[in-house]
């Protein structure tokens, strides 16, 4: 292995007088995993030992021991089998011995392939759901489901077998009084609102189902739903958004950022799987995936496809923020609520700016026309929408006579108005898309928000709006609610 590592055990070490270390595989938050050979059985195995730097942390030691207990209790092909556990007498290091897996994590698979096709994803998700139902039936909640904790192993016949890894921070529901369980631990991009808020009494099977919904979106599109917020704003702003719920429909976000076309019904499925309140989510993981499979059977394979005309938002070459290993506590949530300044108001879009300029010019034209009309008697001009000139017939000019310019009368109240709406928030405009503009370039907002489908646009008033005084308060964001029906 080259130079000795402070993380991995030296190659050739005989650990616990039984396991010969062959190589280091991976180091995580609590321990390092090695490939080893059992000197008694001569079989290969995975040896996980706690990292030296965390040996004195009593909480992490408890989690390490809990992982051995939980993985030993769940009898499922989709949970890694533990064959030995204990504390090495020579090094005082806790260890686990597990079956050695051959394959790759879903997270690594997504980095190489971009996304996972729906038919293949349903196979993986179905196996994960089956294992979660078994764990939940035994009173165990994983609490940190994410692509990095799903391992795609290969059976002897070549078929895939998903293994759920890392039960180190799992919650045993029957022991919910444990003080260690009050911490909001997990990966922010997949955590449920009740986890971030530190509401231990609400953490249950629905917490894992929330993560399963986000994992589904990640598999199908190639990035987490909250990836945009995580990269641009960081973990504290991300936590705020998770608690408030998504604003943009997953179908719109997938098309805008990844060029992935998802069927319209996926919005309703995702809304239920990731609902803000645990009681509004699917009751079982297998129920959620069965609903996903049934809807897909009706919509057909073409309902999930790539739109090659949409440029992808590619992964940045810059180092990512350490979100995969991030965890939060109640104290950090309180710090966010107390110290984070309100977000600045959104910048005015180019459509709104153009509408405002047009409205001001129209008002000035009307006022100017009224003033001059009182002094000069002039014939009318042909006027189109909102007082904009269409054609101007010029009067004949006699020889030696100076040319005159006639002014237009103001548009009558019955004239059709431009599609502007003046309200307390300013001027909102709903323009038609320019010719040749792809549909993916338009961002779909949630129902009930300005400019969203189904919202009535009132005709513009012909008078200028009264000046409004900004209160400086942040607008209240409505929670993400599932639609009343699924198409």
> What's the distance, CA 176 to chain centroid?
29
Q: Are residues 169 and 88 in the same domain?
A: no
Has residue 403 been placed in a domain?
A: no
Nearest by Cα to 150 from 184, 101, 112: 101
195 shares its domain with 89? no
| Per-residue pLDDT in tens (0 to 9) along the chain, 487 residues | 444 455 899 999 999 999 999 999 998 777 899 999 999 999 999 999 987 777 777 887 788 788 878 888 888 999 998 899 988 988 888 899 999 999 999 999 999 999 999 999 999 999 999 999 999 999 999 999 999 999 999 998 999 999 999 887 787 664 543 434 445 567 889 999 999 988 989 999 999 999 999 999 999 999 999 999 888 887 888 888 899 999 899 999 999 999 999 999 999 999 999 999 999 999 999 999 999 999 999 998 888 988 766 555 554 433 344 344 344 433 333 333 333 444 444 444 444 444 555 555 555 555 455 443 433 344 443 333 334 444 445 455 555 554 454 444 444 444 443 333 333 333 333 444 444 444 444 444 444 444 444 444 444 444 545 554 444 444 454 555 555 544 4
pLDDT digits (tens, 9 = 90+) for 374-403: 333 444 433 333 344 444 454 555 555 544
Is 7 contained in some domain? no
Flag whether 196 is in a domain. yes
At 102-118, the pLDDT tens digits run: 999 999 999 999 999 99
Residue 305 lies in a domain: yes
Q: Are residues 20 and 134 in the same domain?
A: no
- 117 and 50 in a common domain: no
- Boundary (domain end) residue, out of 98, 113, 128: 98
Please tell me whether residues 157 and 209 are part of one structural domain.
yes
Q: Can you give the pLDDT at residue 182? A: 43
- CA 228, CA 457: separation in Å to the nearest integer? 30
Integer Cα distance of 392 and 198 in angstroms: 70
Are the C-beta atoms of 426 and 356 separated by less than 8 Å?
A: yes
CATH of the domain at 56: 3.30.200.20
Residue 161: inside a domain: yes
pLDDT value at residue 356:
54
Same-domain status, 47 and 131: no
End position of a domain, from candidates 282, 310, 339: 339
pLDDT of residue 365: 53
**Would you state the pLDDT for residue 184?**
56
Query: What's the structural domain count of the chain?
Result: 2
Q: Is 79 in the same domain as 135?
A: no
Residue 42 lies in a domain: yes
User: Does 253 lie in the same domain as 124?
Assistant: yes
Give me the pLDDT at residue 210, please.
Answer: 98
- Whether residue 86 is contained in a domain is answered as yes
Paired residues of 27 in beta bridges: 32
pLDDT at residue number 37: 98
Shared-domain flag, residues 186 and 264: yes
Q: Tell whether 82 and 223 lie within a shared domain.
A: no
CA dist 474 and 342 (Å) reads 7
Q: Where in the sequence is the domain holding 323, given as residue range(s)?
A: 103-339
In degrees to the nearest 10, what's the CA dihedral of 181, 186, 191, 197?
A: 40
Residue 152, pLDDT score: 97
* Pick from 190, 227, 236: nearest CA to 210: 190
User: For residue 438, what are its two tokens?
Assistant: 């792809």
How far CA 373 is from CA of 133, 154, 340, 381, 414, in Å, comes to 79, 86, 56, 13, 20
For the beta sheet containing 31-38, the strands, ordered from the edge strand earlier in sequence to the opposite edge, are 14-15, 19-27, 31-38, 44-50, 94-98, 82-87
Question: Do 70 and 206 fall into the same domain?
Answer: no
Q: For position 389, what pLDDT does the model report? A: 46
Same domain, yes or no, for 254 and 159? yes
Residue 186 lies in a domain: yes
Show the tokens assigned to 414.
Answer: 């019955």
User: Closest Cα to residue 30, out of 131, 166, 149, 143?
Assistant: 166
pLDDT in tens, 330-364: 333 333 333 344 444 444 444 444 455 555 555 55
Domain boundary residue among 310, 339, 368?
339
What confidence score (pLDDT) does residue 178 get? 43
Q: The domain that contains 241 carries what CATH number?
A: 1.10.510.10
Would strands 14-15 and 19-27 be described as parallel, antiparallel, or unpaired?
antiparallel
- Residue ranges of the alpha helices (H) in 185-301? 193-196, 205-221, 227-244, 250-258, 265-273, 285-299
């Amino acid at each position: 292995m080259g130079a000795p590592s402070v993380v991995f055990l030296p190659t050739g070490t005989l650990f616990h007088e039984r396991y010969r270390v062959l190589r280091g595989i991976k180091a995580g938050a609590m321990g390092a995993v090695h490939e080893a050979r059992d000197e008694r059985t001569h079989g290969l195995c995975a040896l996980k030992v706690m990292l030296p730097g965390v040996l004195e942390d009593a909480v992490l030691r408890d989690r390490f021991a809990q992982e051995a207990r939980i993985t030993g209790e769940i009898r499922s092909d989709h949970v890694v089998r533990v064959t030995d556990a204990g504390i090495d007498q020579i090094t005082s290091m806790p260890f686990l011995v597990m079956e050695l897996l051959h394959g790759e994590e879903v997270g690594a698979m997504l980095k190489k392939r971009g996304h996972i096709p729906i038919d293949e994803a349903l196979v993986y998700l179905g196996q994960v759901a089956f294992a979660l139902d078994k764990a939940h039936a035994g009173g165990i909640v994983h609490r940190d489901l994410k692509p990095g904790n799903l391992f795609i192993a290969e059976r002897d016949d070549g078929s895939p077998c998903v293994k759920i890894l890392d039960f180190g921070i799992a919650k045993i529901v029957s022991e919910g009084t444990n003080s260690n369980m009050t911490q909001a631990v997990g990966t922010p991009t997949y955590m449920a609102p009740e986890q971030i808020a530190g509401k231990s009494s609400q953490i249950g099977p629905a917490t894992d189902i929330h993560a399963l919904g986000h994992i589904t979106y990640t598999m199908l599109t190639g990035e987490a739903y909250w990836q945009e917020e995580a990269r641009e704003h960081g973990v504290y702003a991300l936590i705020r958004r998770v608690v408030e719920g998504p604003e943009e429909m997953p179908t719109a976000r997938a098309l805008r950022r990844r060029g992935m076309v998802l069927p319209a019904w996926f919005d309703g499925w995702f809304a239920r799987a990731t609902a803000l309140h645990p009681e509004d989510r699917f009751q079982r993981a297998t129920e959620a995936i069965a609903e996903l499979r049934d809807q897909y059977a009706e919509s057909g394979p073409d309902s999930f496809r790539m739109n090659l005309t949409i440029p992808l938002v590619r992964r940045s070459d810059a180092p990512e923020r350490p979100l995969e290993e991030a965890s939060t506590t109640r104290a950090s949530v309180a710090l966010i609520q107390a110290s984070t300044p309100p977000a600045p108001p959104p910048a005015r879009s180019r459509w709104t700016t153009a509408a405002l300029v047009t409205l001001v010019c129209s008002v000035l034209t009307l006022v100017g026309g009224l003033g001059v009309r009182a002094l000069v008697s002039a014939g009318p001009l042909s006027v189109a929408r909102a007082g904009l000139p269409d054609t101007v017939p010029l009067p004949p000019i006699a020889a030696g006579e100076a040319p005159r310019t006639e002014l237009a009368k103001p548009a009558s109240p019955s004239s059709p108005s431009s599609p502007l709406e003046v309200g307390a928030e300013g001027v909102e405009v709903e323009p038609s898309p320019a010719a040749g503009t792809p549909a993916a370039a338009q961002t779909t907002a949630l129902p009930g928000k300005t400019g969203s489908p189904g919202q009535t646009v009132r005709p513009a008033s012909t008078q200028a709006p009264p000046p409004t005084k900004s209160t400086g308060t942040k607008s209240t964001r409505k929670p993400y609610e599932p639609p009343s029906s699924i198409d």
